[in-house]
Amino acid sequence: MNQDLDALISIRDLSTSDFELFQSALRTLTSKTFIIRGIEKDRELYLFAIRNFALFEAWFLCMDASIVKDESLGIIAFRGPGMLRFHFSREEICAVLTLRLIYEDKKHEVSLTDFPVTSVEDFKQKYKALSGEEIKKTNLNNVLRRLSSCKLIAVDSPDYTDSEALIKLYPGIPFSISRQALDDAIILLEEKDIEGIDEDTGEVDS
């Protein structure tokens, strides 16, 4: 037997409640990619997955996939088989890069929340400064909804175009885009030669 799969034996020792947590964590990872410690509904799943990380690694190995973690950011991520990439439009890529810059600026600020926070208005201004283009209202709505569905952000208003609405920046942003990838992407963006970001390496494709 492959020694990397030895941890699968421990599944027999899970209690009924732990097995339910295992199932829930698997569903969350495969459908939402991330489990984030700072999100209340994720916290129990995060702690369970950290305690049983070898089991999850073995399980996903059977799927030709993997699971990675960054305990400093408080995030666990599912990586599916093959070379996965963000299939984002140029506007969505500009938005992610803008949010990554904001995250870098705000990560050391003292906050009452578990995550850096910015306003939609601040995002719009920084998006224009980065891309040289003002994002239209319809596109703003679509972009922020898409990034929210990817579990990269959360907006505290049902109206994603409300300038006063606040955006929580989840750790999937720095986890997915390294500082070097951010710097590279800004250069490529200025050259209008950016295509995507490699989720496995955090590198930018041109």
- Report whether pLDDT(50) > 70: yes
Helix, coil or strand: residue 178:
coil
Pairing between strand 204-205 and 166-169?
Answer: unpaired
Of the pLDDT bands very low, low, confident and very high (cuts 50, 70, 90), residue 203 is: very low
Of the pLDDT bands very low, low, confident and very high (cuts 50, 70, 90), residue 12 is: very high
Tokens of 127: 């998006």
Model pTM score = 0.83
Pairing between strand 66-70 and 75-79?
Answer: antiparallel
Between residues 181 and 133, the one the model is more confident about: 133
Let me know: does 111 contact 117? Beta carbons within 8 Å: yes
Q: Summarize pLDDT for 135-188 with one digit per residue, the tens.
A: 999 999 999 999 999 999 999 999 999 999 999 999 999 998 877 877 777 777
- Give, rounded to a whole angstrom, the gap between the first and last alpha carbons of the chain: 42
- Report whether pLDDT(62) > 50: yes
Q: Summarize pLDDT for 80-132 with one digit per residue, the tens.
A: 865 444 577 888 989 999 999 999 898 877 565 689 999 999 999 999 999 88
Let me know: does 190 contact 72? Beta carbons within 8 Å: no
Query: What's the CA gap between 59 and 2, in Å, rounded?
Result: 12
Phi, psi of 95 (to 5 degrees): -65, -45
DSSP 8: G
The beta-strand segments (E) located in 126-201 are 153-155, 166-169, 196-197
The beta-strand segments (E) located in the chain are 34-36, 66-70, 75-79, 117-119, 153-155, 166-169, 196-197, 204-205
Q: Summarize pLDDT for 13-28 with one digit per residue, the tens.
A: 999 999 999 999 999 9
Res 83: pLDDT:
43
The residue assigned the tokens 């500009």 is 94
Res 164: pLDDT:
96
Let me know: does 84 contact 30? Beta carbons within 8 Å: no
